[in-house]
Amino acid sequence: MPQDPPDMQLMQIEPGKAAAAALRLDATICTFLVLDRISEAGLDYATDLLSWVTSNLSDAQFKDEVSLETFKSLLNVALQYDEDHHLEYVAILVHYLQDPEFQQRIATPKLLDDLVTLMLEFEARLDPEDIEAVFQELATSKNADTPTSDEAQVLLLAQLIGLLSAASATDVFARNFNVRSPVIERLEAKLRTPWDSAYPSTICACVMVGNLAMSDEVCIDMVKIMELHIRLIVILKKSDKPALLYAAAGFMRHLTFPEANRALLADAGLMEACCRMLVLKDPSVRGEAAAMLCKLVTGNFYNIEKVMYETVGPDTEAIDPEISADTVIFSHIVEQALAPSAPLPSTTMKNPMIELGRTIVAMLRYLGRPNAEKDVEAVQIQILQVPQIARPIAQLVRQRFYPEARSEGLLGLGLLAQTLEGAAAIAEEIKEDSALLETIKEHANATEAGLAHQGSSTASRDHQNAIVLLQALQNNAVRELQEAVGEVLRTSRLTKWTQYSRIRQSLSKHQVRRSSGDVSTLSSPGGASPGRVRELARRATDSPAMLPGRPRGSTYVGEATGERPSTPVRVREVIGEMEEVSPGTIKESPARERLKGKGMKRTNTAPQ
């Protein structure tokens, strides 16, 4: 068996690699590759050397101009496609792209266009089995039964898609690109292909185009002029690929932020698509569907009526035959808010139970406004006829992980308790779980000193909402509950908050309006040695694909209330030795019977 030359043997020890990195042999090799000055016999050695040098660059070297020029040269070589070394070249490029600062440096029209070309050509060479494996690799939720791939080309394409998507979450990308940029038009074309012929690159297109939806103006144009929502809704109604559904839903959720879009999106079928997504198994997909429903009904009576009087449709029944296509959307929302859900891969993802509870509160908030311009009484009656209506809201109060959602839950129960029927529903919940009343009392009994110690407007708001809720329960609930509630109110130091007019004022204050939004984006694996293809190793992770992107008009990458963790994409060893690439119940009534069918005829409240 032939041995490596002496200089290559030297390169296999750490001092030799460091010396080669200090000399920037990577730049020299890439220049020679571009000029085709390396013989066929020497390409294997040159590729090995290039990998070793790249993995031993210091932080300063990695971020200098030499590295950027070396990356450009290697990208040109990779685009020429040498079958024997193509995967090794892509592995080195992926190594560079793992660095968040480097991602900003490649967010230029020429480089990003070349990288998209590389991704599309790479994808086109894969067979159908590998394409399906890439979809699986990009899924946000995985378990022991989820099939995984050991194929280098599958793992590298998944990483390339993730890293290009992450690059679109940078401010540099937002400054350098718009919907008329050539590379964005190429990606937009991917969105317009038939849903059943979508490729993994469609995920990248959803994220990159979606990350340009950073203002009301752009979002409205994307709906009213470009009509991108039509294709996205088809994907949400038909696709069975969680990674694609999550990315498309993240894009679509951005489009729901402008109030001008909400009725149009609902009329285009988005509510029915969300109802279908709610019965899928993937918790991240369910969470995005719930979040979109919440946004659609916020401050929009036309959509609230659609929720109360229209049905989930056949796409939901096709996924779960136990759910009739004639099930009213609101009944479906309540049922799904109470359905069990798998754990989320990341705490920054939308929690379906929380978001569906918030959806109900958003409806109650609008219907309870003192200056509501619509005839809301019929809708209020319909809501109160739904069994277990209080339970999804009570869940918001019970949980302690999401403070803002807890505040909304207390407000929602306070709104519900303003009527005898609503108070009775809450009383049933308290009978089922006495801890609910204790939780409400805890907030109502908070002292001024305790509120000052917490130093949070949320704590003060929770206290005020709890007092309003208890006063309404005392006025409207059963006798046993009145006695328990009255004791709390007598000991409270802020009984001035118990007047009904206070909650009316509170309702008219906060019309939920975004200051920022987010769109799903793919994670950026951390940097490490690219290695040779036969030494590629899978990076361990349970949630490699999509995570929420940055708020609009901000350099922050992540949810508005949390960080965007860098979730690595896994690469398993292909050949040889392991080497890390890196990182109760209300009786049936005629109104309830209507909820099982098509419901009442809606009034014409559509925007003109």
In a domain, 374, yes or no: yes
CATH number reported for the structural domain that contains residue 126 in this entry: 1.25.10
* Cβ-based neighbours of 344, under 8 Å, separated by 6 or more: 141, 283, 284, 287, 351
Q: CA 462 to CA 460: how far, in whole Å?
A: 5
- Please determine, for residue 84, whether its predicted confidence score (pLDDT) is greater than 70: yes
**Token pair in block for residue 117:** 């070309």
pLDDT of 575 reads 22
* SS3 assignment for 554-596: CCCCCCCCCCCCCCCCCCCCCCCCCCCCCCCCCCCCHHHHHHH
pLDDT value for 417: 92
- Indicate the average pLDDT of the chain: 80
- What percent of the chain stands above pLDDT 70? 72
Out of 194-203, 458-467, 559-568, least confident range: 559-568
In our burial notation (b when 16+ CB lie closer than 10 A, e otherwise), range 431-456 reads eeeeebbebbbebbebeeeebeeeee
Residues 250/520, Cβ–Cβ less than 8 Å: yes
Q: Position of tokens 């991602």?
A: 103
Structural domain containing residue 211: 109-386+541-549+584-608
What pLDDT shows up at residue 147? Answer: 62
- Least Cα distance to 596 among 327, 332, 214, 375 occurs for 327
Residue 446, pLDDT score = 73
Q: Residue 102: pLDDT above 70?
A: yes
Tens of pLDDT along 242-288? 999 999 999 999 999 999 999 999 999 999 999 999 999 999 999 99
Q: Is 421 a domain residue?
A: no
What are the φ and ψ backbone dihedral angles of 546, each rounded to 5 degrees? -105, 135
Q: Is 281 a domain residue?
A: yes
- In whole angstroms, what is the distance from residue 332 CA to residue 28 CA? 63
Residues ≥6 apart with Cβ < 8 Å to 564: 169, 348, 547, 548, 549, 550, 557, 558
Residue closest to 315 by CA, chosen among 290, 282, 341, 279: 279
The DSSP result for 289-357, as a single string, is HHHHHHHHHTT-HHHHHHHHHSB--HHHHHH-TTS-TT-BHHHHHHHHHHS--PPPS-TTSPPHHHHHH
pLDDT in tens, 311-361: 999 999 999 999 999 999 999 999 999 999 999 999 899 999 999 999 999
Candidate from 69-78, 199-208, 426-435, 515-524 with smallest mean pLDDT: 515-524
pLDDT at position 492, please? 57
99 in a domain, yes or no?
Answer: no
Contact partners, residue 35, CB within 8 Å, separation at least 6: none
- Pull the structure tokens for residue 455: 């130093």
Q: Tell whether 47 is covered by a domain.
A: no
**Euclidean distance between CA atoms 339 and 526, whole angstroms:** 36
pLDDT at 28: 92
| DSSP SS3 for 522 | strand
Which 8-state DSSP code applies to residue 41?
G
Residue 78 C-alpha from the chain's centroid:
32
What tens digit of pLDDT does each residue of 422-434 get?
Answer: 999 999 999 888 8
* Number of domains into which the chain is organized: 1
pLDDT at 370: 80
Model-level pTM greater than 0.85? no
Q: How many angstroms separate the Cα of 262 from the Cα of each of 9, 38, 220, 277? A: 65, 59, 10, 18
- Residue 166 pLDDT > 50: yes
The percent of residues above 90 in pLDDT, for the chain, comes to 56
Q: Is residue 213 predicted with pLDDT exceeding 50? A: yes
As a whole number of Å, the end-to-end CA separation of the chain is 80
Question: For residue range 19-57, what is the model confidence (pLDDT) as tens digits?
Answer: 777 788 889 999 999 998 988 888 998 999 899 889 888
Tell whether 162 is covered by a domain: yes
Q: How far is CA 255 from the centre of its chain?
A: 13
Task: With respect to residue 395, please indicate whether it lies within any of the assigned structural domains.
Answer: no
pLDDT at 197: 86
**Structural domain contains residue 504:** no
Task: Quote the pLDDT of residue 266.
Answer: 98
User: DSSP state, 521?
Assistant: E
Answer yes or no: are the C-beta atoms of 234 and 315 closer than 8 Å.
no
Alpha carbon distance 193, 195 (integer Å): 6
